[in-house]
Homo-oligomer: A and B are copies of this chain.
Amino acid sequence: MKTDIEIALEADMQPIGDIAAQLSLTAEDFEPYGHYKAKLSDNLLDKLSSRPEGKVILTTSINPTPAGEGKSTVTVGLGQALNRLNKHAIIALREPSLGPTMGIKGGAAGGGYSQVVPMQEINLHFTGDIHAITTANNALSAFIDNHIHHGNELQIDPRRVEWKRVLDINDRALRQVNVGLGGPAKGVPREDGFTITVASEIMAVLCLANEIQDLKARLARIVIGYTYDKKPVTVHQLGFEGALTLLLKDAFKPNLVQTLENTPAIIHGGPFANIAHGCNSVMATKIAAKLGDYVVTEAGFGADLGAEKFLDIKTRAGHFEPDTVVIVATIRALKMHGGVNKNQLTTEDLEALKQGMTNLKKHIETIEQFNLPYVVAINKFPTDTEQEINSLTEWCKQKRVEVALVDVFSQGGEGGIELAQKVIESSERKTGAVSYTYDLDDSIEEKIYKIVTKVYGGDRVEFSSTAKKQLQQLEREGHDKLPICMAKTQYSLSDDPMLIGRPEGFTITVRELRASVGAGFIVALTGDVMTMPGLPKKPAALNMDVTEDGIITGLF
C-alpha cells in the first residue's frame, strides 16, 4: 500500500470555494487561504442561528497503546462513509502541532485513505493559528516582565510568575531557563520555562470561547501569577486583554478543509489532552453542527480522559450535547491490554484478547453512565485473525453492544459503511440529557472523587500536602465551582502507566492543583506531566527536504 503522504499528494481535491458552496456558504462567510483552505467567519453561528442542528457524534477509544487505535482515521473515515450514504456529514478535528511533526514521524490528520488534506499544509504552518497563539502567549510574558521592570506597580512577585513562555517546537533545553540576566538594561532576573504552544492556557481559552467577546473575557480572567502578598494577578489588571484578543482575532476563526473523498472538515484548535481538555474548539463543533446533518468529532486519548473532558468541560462551556459516541478499539491494542508484548502482536492470542476486553468494557460502562448511546468500532488491521474478530464481535453481541467492523484506512469511506449505518441508528436512540460525572457545585474533592470512582474505576483519591494547600487557596479565591481537568497518564485507567487492562482497587494521587481561570477549569495533576517534549537523537526533520523538482519529502 502507498504511504500516507503519497496518497495525500494524489488526492483529487476540490477548490475550497466548492466545498464551502456544498455547505451553502456564501462568499462573505469564508476567506480562502490558498486554494484548499479557508477561514470561516466567526459570525457564522449568529448568521445560521435559525438552521437546525445536526447530530454530534463523538469518537473516543480504549486507553491508547503503542499498537495504535487509529481514532482520527476512524473519525475521518466515518465522515466519509456518512457522505457515501448521502448524509451531509462534516468532520471536526484538532490542529496538529509542528513540534512533534519535526521530532517524530507522523502527522495528525488521519491515515491511509481516511485523511484530511492538504495534509502537508495542515501539518506545517496551516493557517497560522498556532503561531498567533505563540505570539499572544509570549507578548503576555513580555508585558509581565516589562511591568516588573518598569516599577512593578502591581507588586508581582518575580518568584511567583506562573505564566510561561511557549514555542511550537520540541525543545528540552527550554524546559527550565533563567531570563532577565545581564544587568538593569536586560530586565529583572527570574526563573522561567517554555512549554509547547498547544499547552498554553490561551489555546484552551480559544477552544472553549463561544464568541470573540467571550474570548476576551476569558483572556482577561487568566491568572498570570501572584503578588508578594500572594494575591492573584490577572491579565485584566495588566490591561492587555484587548491586545491579546486582537492578536487572536483570525486564529479564532475555524478552518475549513476537506477529506480525500471531499467530505468537508473543520480543523480548529488543539489543546493538550492532559493539562488541558484535548478537544477541537467549541466554535468549530457548533458551526459544524449548523452546517451538517452529522458532525463527527473526536477527543484526545481514551474515554477516561478525552470523552470525560469533552462531556464534563467542553459541552458545558459550549452548551451543547453529543447524540452518540463511537468507541474505537483494535484487536492489537486489546491484546496489549491483555498482556501481549508489542513485538508479538501478529500472533493470534484469543486469551489475551479476552483479558484486554476488560479495558473496553470499562469505557463502555463510562459512556453508559453519561447516558449516551454508542457503537464500538473495531478498527481492522491486516494481521487480525478471523477467530480474533469473531471473538470480539461475539463478546459484543452477548453484551448487547452495537459493534461494527471498520476498514477505513485501506478502503476509505467504503470501509466505514456498516459503522455509519449503526451510528445513524444510534444517534436516534439518545434518551434525555447527558448525565455529567459531577455537579459544578460539588467541592473540588468531590468532583475528583467522582471522576476517579465513576470514570476510572478507582477506589480512593489522595491529595499531596501541596495539593491540600492549593485546594484551600482555590476555595478562598472562589474558583472551586469550575470543572476539573485531570492530567493523568493516558496509558492506564489509573495514574500508573504500567497498570493496563482494567485495574481495580487503586488510589489516584493528586500531586498538584492549578487553576486555569481563563480556560475555566482546575487542572488536577497526577504524576509528572511533561509540557515541553524533547527531540530524539535523530529527529524526523533530518529526512525532510524540498527536492530540485519541488517535491516535499520526509514529512510523513
| Residues of A participating in the B interface, judged by any CB pair closer than 8 Å | 31-35, 39, 43, 98, 102, 124-125, 128, 131-132, 134-135, 138-139, 141-143, 145-146, 149-151, 167-182, 185-188, 212-213, 216, 239-240, 242-243, 245-247, 249-250, 534-535, 537, 539, 541-546, 548, 550, 552-555
Q: Which residues of B contact A146 (CB under 8 A)?
A: 171-173, 534-535, 537, 539
**Sample of 12 further A-B pairs with CB below 8 A, known A146-B534, A177-B181:** A34-B39, A125-B247, A141-B173, A143-B535, A143-B539, A146-B171, A146-B535, A149-B173, A173-B187, A177-B179, A245-B546, A249-B546
Q: CA of A240 to CA of B541 in the docked complex: distance in angstroms?
A: 7
26 examples of A-B residue contacts, CB within 8 angstroms:
A31-B32, A32-B32, A32-B34, A34-B39, A98-B135, A124-B246, A125-B131, A128-B131, A131-B132, A139-B541, A142-B173, A142-B174, A145-B172, A146-B534, A150-B537, A172-B187, A176-B180, A177-B177, A177-B179, A185-B534, A242-B544, A242-B553, A243-B544, A245-B545, A246-B555, A249-B552
Q: Which residues of B contact A173 (CB under 8 A)?
A: 141-142, 145-146, 149, 179-180, 186-188
Q: Are A31 and B31 in contact (CB under 8 A)?
A: no
Q: How far is the CB of A18 from chain B (nearest CB, A)?
A: 14
Q: Are B216 and A546 in contact (CB under 8 A)?
A: yes
Q: Are B128 and A246 in contact (CB under 8 A)?
A: no
Q: Which residues of B contact A554 (CB under 8 A)?
A: 242-243
Q: Are B552 and A102 in contact (CB under 8 A)?
A: no
Q: Are B167 and A246 in contact (CB under 8 A)?
A: no
Q: Which residues of B contact A172 (CB under 8 A)?
A: 145-146, 149, 180, 185-187
Q: CA of A131 to CA of B125 in the docked complex: distance in angstroms?
A: 9
Q: CA of A555 to CA of B243 in the docked complex: distance in angstroms?
A: 9
A171: contacting residue among B31, B142, B169, CB under 8 A? B142
Q: CA of A261 to CA of B213 in the docked complex: distance in angstroms?
A: 34
Q: How far is the CB of A409 from chain B (nearest CB, A)?
A: 26
Q: Are A135 and B168 in contact (CB under 8 A)?
A: yes
Closest chain B residue to A554, Cβ basis: B242
A139: contacting residue among B31, B102, B545, B553, CB under 8 A? B102
Q: CA of A541 to CA of B168 in the docked complex: distance in angstroms?
A: 23
Q: A178-B178, A246-B552, A250-B125 are contacts. A169–B142 as well, Cβ < 8 Å?
A: yes
Q: Which residues of B contact A541 (CB under 8 A)?
A: 139, 143, 240, 242-243
> Assembly of this chain: how many copies?
2
Q: Which residues of B contact A550 (CB under 8 A)?
A: 43, 212
Q: CA of A397 to CA of B98 in the docked complex: distance in angstroms?
A: 59
Closest chain B residue to A246, Cβ basis: B544
Q: Which residues of B contact A247 (CB under 8 A)?
A: 124-125
Q: Which residues of B contact A546 (CB under 8 A)?
A: 212, 216, 242, 245-246, 249
Q: Which residues of B contact A139 (CB under 8 A)?
A: 102, 169, 541
Q: Which residues of B contact A33 (CB under 8 A)?
A: 31-34
Closest chain B residue to A172, Cβ basis: B187
Q: CA of A251 to CA of B98 in the docked complex: distance in angstroms?
A: 16
Q: How far is the CB of A42 from chain B (nearest CB, A)?
A: 9
Q: A246-B545, A552-B246 are contacts. A131–B142 as well, Cβ < 8 Å?
A: no
Q: Which residues of B contact A188 (CB under 8 A)?
A: 173
Closest chain B residue to A144, Cβ basis: B173
Q: How far is the CB of A2 from chain B (nearest CB, A)?
A: 21
Q: Are B171 and A138 in contact (CB under 8 A)?
A: yes
Closest chain B residue to A532, Cβ basis: B186
Q: Are B168 and A187 in contact (CB under 8 A)?
A: no
Q: Which residues of B contact A543 (CB under 8 A)?
A: 242
Q: Are A102 and B175 in contact (CB under 8 A)?
A: no
Q: CA of A247 to CA of B250 in the docked complex: distance in angstroms?
A: 21
Q: How far is the CB of A80 from chain B (nearest CB, A)?
A: 26
Q: Are A177 and B178 in contact (CB under 8 A)?
A: yes
Q: Are B182 and A175 in contact (CB under 8 A)?
A: yes
Q: CA of A134 to CA of B539 in the docked complex: distance in angstroms?
A: 19
Q: Which residues of B contact A174 (CB under 8 A)?
A: 142, 179
Q: CA of A185 to CA of B532 in the docked complex: distance in angstroms?
A: 11
Q: Which residues of B contact A125 (CB under 8 A)?
A: 128, 131-132, 135, 247, 250
